[in-house]
Amino acid sequence: MDDRTGQRTVAETAPRRPENRYGNRPTMKDVAARAGVGLKTVSRVVNGEPGVTPDTERRVQEAIEALGFRRNDSARVLRKGRTASIGLVLEDLADPFYGPLSRAVEEVARAHGALLINGSSAEDPDREQELVLALCARRVDGLVVIPAGDDHRYLEPEIAAGVATVFVDRPAGKIDADVVLSDSFGGARDGVAHLIAHGHRRIGFIGDQPRIHTAIERLRGYRAAMEDAGIELSESWVSLGATGPERVQAAATAMITGPEPVTAIFAGNNRVTVTVVRVLADHERPVALVGFDDIELADLLGITVVAQDAAALGRTAAERLFRHLDGAEEAPARIELRTALIPRGSGEIPPA
């Protein structure tokens, strides 16, 4: 059983206690026994605490090495009460808007020594709640939530119990909490005003489902721009609903071929824009287009967009989260990030 032989195959020299449920892993106790020291000394070495002789430390390190010991953070968490992990609940990680956002949150978490648990709500309020509560049961230190639902009172006990929470992209429903979002209203208004400045008056708006805050805000921006220009709008120019290709395609087709055909379309988000671009590509009469959200390759396709910075959204939210975790006692705030209109051609097409 003696293995001072210095073999490289660490795994084989691990102790074989039969009933250990962690796949038979060595514990600090095992390390202590092997190094001939007390449990607490091992703890000190593992955590880099002072007060250990270099010689003792070496012996402990050797034992750790030989046994292939790795501290069990579950036990640590139980004792310390902090998991050094945060949760991020978003709509769909497969959406190109959320990848950079998640990555930005991860970077901030990493800088604070925390891991990130991701979850996709699929825009389903029940699933959002289920995920959030699962994360709370894991005792994540904090939560970044892109809300799917519009009632977050279920989070009140958690927040009261100390789970720092920041909402992103859309405000929380029925509770007072931090939120970081883009200026959807202003961005949409600017985009539509841009189309108006290029001579359009019959402008369509295709947006997401009305229960989604950003959809409503962008629609408000559209209406404001139209009103500012003194344009009376036809309700046949406005379409809200699911952003799947079928619905959007139908809506866009109806708008450009209907009785009062639009000469321009404002697309409410990246998914809408992509589908509208496809529809317009198959259409002979040129129709102008401005889309909310930037898209990869939009420059090559000459798509004018109102860009929001997904990474900045995530970064700002995460930084605020960690400021709370570090003890800052700031009142819930609403942080709004500016959008940027990027003209690339499609928004500058004159009315037919």
Partner DNA sequence: CTGAAAGCGCTAACAC
Partner DNA sequence: GTGTTAGCGCTTTCAG
3-class state of residue 180 by DSSP: strand
User: Which residue type is seen at 77?
Assistant: V
Any idea which residue has 């230190």 for tokens?
141
**Smallest distance from a copy of itself to CB 197, Å:** 26
Tell me the number of residues near DNA by CB under 7 A: 31
Q: What does the binding site for a copy of itself look like in residue numbers (CB under 8 A)?
A: 9-12, 14, 20-25, 68, 70-75, 77-78, 80-83, 85, 92-96, 98-100, 102-104, 106, 115-120, 133-139, 156-158, 160-163, 274, 277-278, 281, 295-301, 311
Q: Is 72 helix (H, G, I), strand (E, B) or coil?
A: coil
- Please report whether residue 199 would count as binding DNA according to CB under 7 A: no
**270 makes contact with DNA (CB under 7 A):** no
Q: How far is the CB of 163 from a copy of itself (least distance, A)?
A: 7
Backbone angles phi, psi at 284, to 5 degrees: -75, -45
Give the one residue of 3, 7, 12, 39 binding DNA; rule: CB under 7 A: 39
From the CB of 130, what's the least distance to DNA, in Å?
18
Q: Is 279 among the residues that bind DNA (CB under 7 A)?
A: no
Does 133 help bind DNA (rule: CB under 7 A)? no
Find the shortest distance in angstroms from Cβ 224 to a copy of itself.
30
Check: CB of residue 323 under 8 Å from CB of residue 330. Answer: yes
Q: Does 25 bind DNA (CB under 7 A)?
A: yes
Residue 348: C-alpha distances to residues 1, 351, 352 (Å): 79, 9, 12
Q: Rounded to the nearest whole angstrom, what is the least distance from the CB of residue 61 to DNA in the complex? A: 12
Residue 297 binding target from a copy of itself, DNA, none, CB below 5 to 8 Å by type: a copy of itself
The first and second tokens of residue 281, run together, are: 């590509």
CB of 209 to a copy of itself, least distance (A): 20
Summary count for the chain: helices (H), strands (E): 13, 12
The residues facing 340 across adjacent strands are 307
Note the helical H segments in 20-118. Answer: 28-35, 39-46, 54-67, 73-80, 98-111
- If the CB atoms of residues 6 and 50 are measured against DNA, the closer one turns out to be 50
Q: Which two tokens stand for residue 234?
A: 């036809």
- Number of Cβ within 10 Å of residue 89's Cβ equals 25
Give 24 or 257: the residue with its C-beta nearer to a copy of itself: 24
User: Do residues 243 and 269 lie in contact, with contact meaning Cβ atoms separated by under 8 Å?
Assistant: yes
- Tell me which stretch binds DNA (CB under 7 A): 36-44, 123-131, 203-211, 217-225: 36-44
Token pair recorded at residue 206 = 């295709």
Identity of residue 337:
L
The label of the residue with tokens 């995530």 reads 314
Least distance in angstroms from the C-beta of 49 to DNA: 8
The amino acid sitting at 324 is H
Q: Is 240 helix (H, G, I), strand (E, B) or coil?
A: strand
> Which of 14, 33, 61, 71 lies at the binding interface for DNA (CB under 7 A)?
71
Q: Which of residues 74-93 bind DNA (CB under 7 A)?
A: 75-76, 78-80
Cβ 71 to a copy of itself shortest distance, Å: 6
Place of tokens 């939560």: 143
331 binds, among a copy of itself, DNA, none (CB under 5 to 8 A by kind): none
Strands 164-168 and 142-145: parallel
Pick between residue 277 and residue 287 the one whose CB is nearest to a copy of itself: 277
Give the count of beta carbons closer than 10 Å to the beta carbon of residue 164: 22
* Binding interface with DNA (CB under 7 A): 20-22, 25, 27-29, 36-41, 43-44, 46-47, 50-53, 55-57, 71-72, 75-76, 78-80
